[in-house]
Amino acid sequence: MATTTTQTHPLFAFPLSSITDFTELASYCENIADALHETHDTTLKMALCGRLNTCLAVLQPALLDPVPEHLVESLTVDTLPAVSPQLAPDCTALCSYGMALAQTLMQQGLPPETEQQLTGLLSELINYFAAEMKAPRWLRTEQGVVDIEPAVYWQSGVLP
């Protein structure tokens, strides 16, 4: 007799709807990604991946829409935050991500649209990786050679 497993993870209780604020959906995606990263249960991983995909599919159509009026105040600050969101993995993580994507693409059998998206992601990731690897690391100044903080330099365009 076959048994059907039921996922009772709290993340599956969140209602997904196109009328849900994008900020709530983004937080929900973040929670799913964190749970996905922490789990070793294959069935739960597959369910979380499906849930993440569904949530992203709900978010996607409205990504370029104007911010709804009722969210403007919550997204308005008096001073700029000290840190802004950025993807800043170190070179070893970038290399590993590139290898994982390349291996996934070599396995074939992916739907054409998925393959196209992963190929684009791989291309952008490797271009970023190469630029990071070839970026200047030191600057000659009147006081001598000083380290350049790449994230600070590239983000602001101003040397330390």
Chain centroid, CA 106 distance in Å = 22
User: Could you list the pLDDT tens digit for every one of the 160 residues in the chain?
Assistant: 444 444 578 888 888 888 899 999 999 999 999 999 999 999 999 999 999 999 999 999 999 999 999 999 999 999 888 888 888 888 999 999 999 999 999 998 999 999 999 999 999 999 999 888 888 888 898 999 988 875 444 444 444 4
Kindly report the pTM of this predicted structure.
Answer: 0.72
Burial class (CB in 10 A: 0-12, 13-18, 19+), 28: buried
DSSP 67-85: PPHHHHGGG--SS--SS--
